[in-house]
Structure 1
Amino acid sequence: MLSSTILRRIFIRTQPTPNPSFLKFIPGIILLRDGTLEFTSPRQGQNFPLVIRLFQIDGISRVFIAKDYLSIGKTVSADWSILKPLIFEVLMNSLTNGESLISEVPPSEDTKILDTDSQDLAMVKEIIDFRIRPFVRDDGGDVRLVEFDEASGKVILEMRGSCSGCPSSAITLKNGIERMLTHYVKSVKTVEAVDG
């Protein structure tokens, strides 16, 4: 655990995401050792006091936590100029009070390669984990493999965090993700998204 002298020096940066309804908050510390967590309601975050406090702010719609940042979503009517100071206050209080934010999250099951996976499915999972996830996480989001129908060549991904509902996600999906998957895995013909 960090000492209180180190905690007092925490500086939280914000970074815009391609989705104007999300803002990335970077506290400069490790929040999760592995994986990501996404919450769309306070009930989902009942084991995370920080998440519950964030949802107590009127206008917060989603909380996405990755290794070293939070991507926080707002409702359409909420204003970042009002929300940001409230979010900073909750984050600073949690961090300076020494509240443990580090949590163990099991590795992503959606891309765990199984003995029963075909070679193409294993390749899709590997590309998502090592090429696609780092790219979308940089923008405050994540993807989860929902399905790969090898007969039709269709990959279905769940868009998470700031990628969920993002106006740019269709471009990212077609020009980035689909192009990469169809290039490396010849049986992939198309990629579709569902929002998380």
Structure 2
Amino acid sequence: MFIETETTPNPATMKFLPGRQVMADGTREFTDPEAAEISPLASALFSLGDVTGVFYGSSFVSVTAAPGSDWPTLKPQVVAVLLDHFVSGAPLFTGGDAAGIAVPDELDDIGDDPADADVVAQIKDLIETRVRPAVAGDGGDIIYRGFREGIVYLTMQGACAGCPSSTATLKQGIEGLLKHYVPEVAEVRAA
């Protein structure tokens, strides 16, 4: 088995591609060792000591290193953990798959005004078809949180969370796209 690596716009995060499916549906982010306890792979990555974040995409794992960490030293350790996991065929989550595991971030949705159902459908479609694939290419994900009074609330995950260019991505990239196609959008904010 060969694991490819890619840099991301976030210098603290590296993207690892095992050449196979990681998550069947959705994505999953772990920001501390306690949250990672449900995933043997994420727990093993956090046990390396210099890891501060793990993100699972459909076909990749993004790993965020602690400030001051040295990627040339950490990268082979991460690859070894990933190889051990994928070669062994171990489950990604204890107790089955990720289905039914409550993702805390999903509890913080801003919500939508029911009167805006058509606008919300357009926004969600654009995020799903145009924004999420681009963000996944950089080792992250974007989660829709809600639309209220012309403001779209989004959360960046994985390599995109904490990335120096995440504000520019939200404001210049995503906000510009949404405003162009959905005139009711006045602003995009991080939630």
TM-score (norm 2): 0.86
Offset at 1:18?
Answer: 0.4
Offset at 1:148?
Answer: 1.2
RMSD: 2.2
Offset at 1:191?
Answer: 0.8
Match of 2:19 in 1: 28
Amino acid corresponding to residue 159 of structure 1 in structure 2 = M
CA distance in 1, matches of 2:161, 2:76: 24
Match of 2:165 in 1: 168
Q: SS state of the match for residue 190, structure 2?
A: strand
Query: Is 1:66 matched with 2:64?
Result: no
Match of 2:68 in 1: 77
Amino acid corresponding to residue 38 of structure 2 in structure 1 = N
Structure 1: unaligned runs, 5 residues or longer: 1-9
Q: SS state of the match for residue 173, structure 1?
A: helix
Structure 2: unaligned runs, 5 residues or longer: none
Correspondence 1:174-189 to 2 at 5 A: 174-189=171-186
Correspondence 1:94-173 to 2 at 5 A: 94-101=85-92, 103-105=97-99, 118-149=117-148, 151=149, 153-173=150-170
Amino acid corresponding to residue 172 of structure 1 in structure 2 = T
Residue pair 1:64, 1:70 contacting (<8 A) in 2 also: yes
Deviations 1:97-144 (A, max 9, x none): 2213384447x977xx9x875211121111111211111011001111
Residue pair 1:33, 1:105 contacting (<8 A) in 2 also: no
Q: SS state of the match for residue 46, structure 1?
A: helix
Match of 2:35 in 1: 44
Residue pair 2:40, 2:91 contacting (<8 A) in 1 also: no
Number of residues of Structure 1 aligned to a counterpart in Structure 2: 180
Residue pair 1:36, 1:105 contacting (<8 A) in 2 also: no
CA distance in 2, matches of 1:22, 1:95: 20
Q: SS state of the match for residue 18, structure 1?
A: coil
Deviations 1:31-66 (A, max 9, x none): 111100000112212221111110001110000001
CA distance in 1, matches of 2:40, 2:167: 34
Residue pair 1:71, 1:141 contacting (<8 A) in 2 also: yes
Q: Which runs of 4+ in 1 moved over 3 A?
A: 101-106
Seen in structure 2, the aligned counterparts of structure 1 residues 170 and 33 have a Cα distance that, compared at 3 Å, is same
Amino acid corresponding to residue 186 of structure 1 in structure 2 = P
Report the identity percentage: 41
Residue pair 2:33, 2:43 contacting (<8 A) in 1 also: yes
Offset at 1:76?
Answer: 0.9
